[in-house]
Every structure is written in structure tokens, then in C-alpha cells.
Copies of this chain bind each other. A is one copy, B any other.
Amino acid sequence: MDLRVINPNTTAGMTATIGAAAERIAAPGTRITAVNPDSGPVSIESHFDEAISAVGVTEEVRRGEAEGADAYIIACFGDPGLLAARELTRAPVIGIAEAAFHVASLVSTRFSIVTTLGRTGIIAEHLLASYGFTGHCRRVRAAEIPVLDLEENGDAAFERIVAECCRARDADNIGAIVLGCGGMADLTARISDAVGLPVIEGVTAAVKLAEALVGLGLQTSKHGDLAFPRPKPFTGRFADLSDTRYE
């Protein structure tokens, strides 16, 4: 299967990090194509960054459709453009936040989230509520690390994340920790070793869930609200989207 891993931000280094993590976990038959949009923010740390990045996500899905992708992963913890992406394809589309929540709830009864910047915690809270996991999450914590520090300042970032994870382990009455940033994908094993309980990271979780859905022969429902968008004119910089017919 051709699994398209979309990094919604435009930092190629992070795309490579995410892609490598995906390849390490992928099944033999899974071909990982890690991509990022040409256009968008270099990191996603606000509702605004997220809104802009959603356009790039849909662009990459449309490109994937042309190239015959079998499934898609949206590799930003806010799952930007998730439902929009699902409308554009019959292939499964999975966000790394939802993937992490689903998986964490299968190996523990309660978990906490450790994310980068506190200001993005509200995004996690909204996703927990929308997906149904509010009751499973004890607390959303932040290590207060700018996303790109994960690339540029890895050791210091690692230490801060581990320290916050240990606080969660000791104070939150949990069984597992969810890492709240795609950029942490390569740190998971080291963090888990350091913290001593299951640490779930969304990119790897999403790869395996995508393989699961494809293996089940399940596709995104086209019955009801995830049906293909009705073709219509778009204007200006989005004119290229006009009257597209999706199949």
C-alpha cells in the first residue's frame, strides 16, 4: 500500500523526521511517502497556523489521489483539515492526535498529554471532546518548547519533555502518556525508556491504524456528510479548485 504521510508544516527536516519514524514502524508491504505542502507555515503553534496548514493538507490529498495513494496520515497533533481531507477521498485518512488517543485508550484506562506549547493545549482539549476522549485524559501538559526546537535543539527539548512526562506519571494517576507533537516521533522510544510507562506517539500510531483500515478493506464513508464535495467555482488563488469532480 502507498501510505501518504502529510506533514502539514513546510519544514523539510521535520518531514524527514516524521517519514523516517513512519518507515521504521511500517509493515513490509507499506510504502511510506512523506510529504509536506509547498505552501504553509514552517511550524504549527496556533489556530491561525493550523487554519493555513489545512489548505496544504487538502492539496497533498488531491495530489495523492492523482497518484493513487491508499491512505493518508495528517502528521500534526491538531489534525488540521481532517474532515475536509476525508471528503476528498475514499481512502482512509487518519490524524495523529486521534490515532494517539485511540491507541492510548487500548492500553490504559487514563492518559495525560504532553505537548509543546501551552497555548496549543486548547486544541488538544477540543479534539478530545470532539472524538469522545475527554473522560480518558487526565490532564493536558506542556513542556513549553517551540516546535522547531525539536529539530534544532533536540537534547534540551528531550530533557524538558521527559521531565514533564515524569511529572505526569507521578501526579496524574495515569497508565500512559500521549506525546502531543508530530515532531516528537523519533523520540518516543527514548522517552518511554526514561519514563517507564507506555508512551504513545501519533505518527507511528497512525501508520498502524492506516494499515489496519486498509487491511480491513474499509474506506471513508461516502454515505452522508463525508461524501465528495459538490463541484463548484472557486475564485482567486483557489481558482484551480473549480468544478473539480471527485471520485
Contact = CB atoms under 8 A, between A and B. Distances in A.
Interface string A154-178: 0000000000000001000111100
Given A27-B215, A87-B48, A234-B40, A226 B54 contact: no
Contact of A27 (B27, B37, B52, B136): B27
A194 to B, nearest CB: 14
Most buried by B among A27, A47, A122, A236: A47
A34 to B, nearest CB: 17
Contacts of A27: 27, 215
Nearest to A50: B84
Given A219-B107, A223-B196, A234 B52 contact: yes
A32 B159 CA distance: 41
16 contacts: A10-B236, A38-B237, A40-B236, A46-B84, A47-B226, A51-B58, A52-B58, A52-B234, A103-B213, A108-B226, A130-B130, A173-B224, A174-B223, A175-B224, A176-B221, A198-B221
Interface of A: 10, 25, 27, 37-43, 45-52, 54-55, 58, 81, 83-84, 86-88, 92, 94, 98, 102-103, 105-110, 118-122, 126, 129-136, 146, 169, 173-176, 196-198, 200, 204-205, 208-209, 211-213, 215-216, 218-227, 229-230, 232-239, 241
A208 to B, nearest CB: 3
Given A132-B136, A213-B107, A229 B48 contact: yes
B58 A55 contact: no
A192 B14 CA distance: 40
A84 B108 CA distance: 12
